[in-house]
Structure 1
Amino acid sequence: MIVGNLLIIFPILVLSAELIARGAEKLEEFMGQGMAGGIIMGLLTALPETIFVIIASIRGEPYIALGSAIGGNVMLFTFGVGLLGIYNFLRWKKNLVIAEDYSVEHRFLIASTLLLLIVLIYGSLDIYTSIPLLSLYGYYTYYRVRKFVKEDREEPETEEIIKATLYLVMGAFLLILFSEPFIGDVAELSSYFHIPSIWLALILTPLAGELEETITAIRLTTTSERGGSLAIFDFVGSKIQNATVLLAIVGLFNNVSLQPGMSEIVATLIANTFAIFILMDKNLGLKESIMLLFVYFLVAYFTLVF
């Protein structure tokens, strides 16, 4: 029964990825990769985690919310980026190069990582940490929108805007509707095969949760040499949101000690740091990509041990 559900839901998630990719490609033509990938795709692909974090926080399950908020950062900034870099090299026989100005996302990724470190030292999530976390993402959005307004770009046709909007809305709807059941079925299947819960939390659930975003990235890279660059903007934008807005939501609804979630936060800081340094030169090579795959499993292993 579970396998049957997975076989039904997986193609729907692939369709969701295709719709979001098509919408993003149309938006990129007149909005650029920073707005289309970092802000709009970032918001859409983070919707399932956002909804899940809100529900878990309201129900008084802060540690489930905490894991959902930042668990994907570890997977996407190591395994996800690594897989994308390898696929881009195989598809285009060259390194993945970030095609547009990445400096905004790079600076805010550094800022969100430093703020997460400060929150970890502070030791809890509450109203006092939520305000600066929300403020940072709000400023990122404002800064990116202001930069877009100042850019000299051609006016888009109304028909293209409508098409892009329809693609994104339909893709987001399917993503919201089917991503959580998919993750739940993966968790249930893993339990059936007696996979340890820590590996479920650190590897299988994040892989399932970020599956649509990874499929979208592969789809973008397949159709265009610039597609991998747009996917990187999506990765970074969505994970800046996860490490700021979603953690702030947890703190607004609960006063949460970070001691039980220490390993996850440290793992997130490590993954963010790798993303900061590897993407700094806007060039993702094959050797770096392979290394990131190993880093993902090393981080999971050491988190299990310690």
Structure 2
Amino acid sequence: MALAIITMIIGLAVLVWSADLFIDGASAIAVKFNMPSFLIGVLILGLGTSAPEMVVSALSAYAGSPGLALGNAYGSNIMNIALVLGVTAFISPIFIRGAVVKQDMLLLLAMTALAAWQLVDGTLSRFDGIVLSLALLIVLMIQIVLALRQPAANAPVATANGIDSTKAIFSLIIGLAVLILSSRAIVWGAVQLATLWGISELLIGLTIVAIGTSLPELVASIVAARRGEHEMALGNIIGSNLFNTLGVVGLAAIIHPLAVEPEILSRDFLAMAIITGLLFVLAVIAYNRSGYLGKGGGAVLIASFIGYTGWLISSAL
């Protein structure tokens, strides 16, 4: 028990440190190359924090476990919006640009609809996987073009003088690697404690492990928002969900065609679609009112996370 507690404490401290290093590197690259913060959030933070999900789903598909492969991707999307963005907005209000609502979130909704259309027949073929992967490439190209068309609206305001590109890239890579490893250490410690306290493996998987896999996105988004990098925090979530919906599921289907279990479509994907739509509605309201997604919107998202978790546990018992 002592080892588990020590591991969790050290893991948490390292997690916060690595998130700072990761955001430092991302911000420096944005300034050095005059890239919009939102684009950095979508491409670098989104892809980087989705790397664990991609590996888990790919290995699950290869091992013939479609439920784990799909549940990992869609569950992560739910966590990203309901838990990660909810907690981030509750702690530090997130600025919402009109372009994000009218373009980026609509893209996310469209890709969610594409994924739903592919799932309704109960299977994901290799062709479906190729379509999803190609859709990801197209979406990323659209994101890049849209972001670069509006440099004045979201470009970093700092100067690039004195920024060491090598150091920035090093901070980004090391920060991401340690961020992921430290989150895994926290999950390991939590699982060990839960096991010692007699909590069932099912509840551990549905709660501790599920939340633990979202720690990189959670800490990175909170750090970014508290530093005023609101667009980087929001871009992280939108980018991560796009990578999960298209890239993670697409790669898994290419590796091995997936049978879609009924509960994935009727529960997990449905919940993901509803929460994605809820985010869009909250963002529109925030944009038309104060321009910030704050405590009220964050509380609604957190409540949806609690509701989904309760639904998940009750349906699994």
Q: Shorter-normalised TM-score: what interval? A: 0.7 to 0.9
1:62 aligns with 2:61: no
Q: Where do 5+ consecutive residues of structure 1 fail to align? A: 90-95
The structural deviation recorded for 1:127 is 0.8
What is the aligned partner in structure 2 of residue 98 from structure 1?
Answer: 96
What is the aligned partner in structure 1 of residue 120 from structure 2?
Answer: 121
What is the aligned partner in structure 2 of residue 301 from structure 1?
Answer: 310
Which letter maps to 1:53?
Answer: S
Aligned equivalents of 2:198, 2:111: Cα separation in 1 = 36
What is the aligned partner in structure 1 of residue 106 from structure 2?
Answer: 107
Which letter maps to 2:95?
Answer: V
The structural deviation recorded for 1:158 is 8.4
Q: 1:59 to 1:179 in 2, by over 3 A?
A: farther
The structural deviation recorded for 1:109 is 0.7
Which letter maps to 2:76?
Answer: G
C-alpha contact 2:36 2:151 (8 A) present in aligned 1: no
What is the aligned partner in structure 2 of residue 93 from structure 1?
Answer: none
Which letter maps to 1:28?
Answer: A
C-alpha contact 1:48 1:180 (8 A) present in aligned 2: no
Aligned equivalents of 2:22, 2:97: Cα separation in 1 = 20
Aligned equivalents of 2:284, 2:98: Cα separation in 1 = 13
Which letter maps to 2:99?
Answer: D
Which letter maps to 1:17?
Answer: A
Instruction: Map residues 102-251 of structure 1 onto 2, 5 A cutoff.
Output: 102=100, 103-148=102-147, 159-224=163-228, 227-251=229-253
What is the aligned partner in structure 2 of residue 92 from structure 1?
Answer: none
Q: Where do 5+ consecutive residues of structure 2 fail to align? A: none
C-alpha contact 2:48 2:176 (8 A) present in aligned 1: yes
C-alpha contact 2:74 2:244 (8 A) present in aligned 1: yes
The structural deviation recorded for 1:170 is 1.0
Which letter maps to 2:128?
Answer: T
The structural deviation recorded for 1:220 is 1.9
What is the aligned partner in structure 1 of residue 35 from structure 2?
Answer: 31
Higher mean alpha-carbon deviation, 239-248 vs 61-70, is at 61-70
Which letter maps to 1:113?
Answer: T
What is the aligned partner in structure 1 of residue 56 from structure 2?
Answer: 52
What is the aligned partner in structure 2 of residue 73 from structure 1?
Answer: 77
Which letter maps to 1:11?
Answer: A
The percent identity for this pair of structures is 20
The structural deviation recorded for 1:149 is 5.2
What is the aligned partner in structure 1 of residue 293 from structure 2?
Answer: 284
The structural deviation recorded for 1:150 is 5.1
Aligned equivalents of 1:178, 1:296: Cα separation in 2 = 24
TM-score normalised by length of structure 1: 0.86
1:43 aligns with 2:47: yes
What is the aligned partner in structure 2 of residue 14 from structure 1?
Answer: 16
Aligned equivalents of 2:103, 2:171: Cα separation in 1 = 26
Q: 1:214 to 1:114 in 2, by over 3 A?
A: same
C-alpha contact 1:41 1:234 (8 A) present in aligned 2: yes
CA offsets, 1:181-203, max 9 Å, x none? 44344334333333344543443
Higher mean alpha-carbon deviation, 69-78 vs 187-196, is at 187-196
The structural deviation recorded for 1:2 is 2.1
Aligned equivalents of 1:253, 1:239: Cα separation in 2 = 20
TM-score normalised by length of structure 2: 0.83
Total equivalences in the alignment? 298
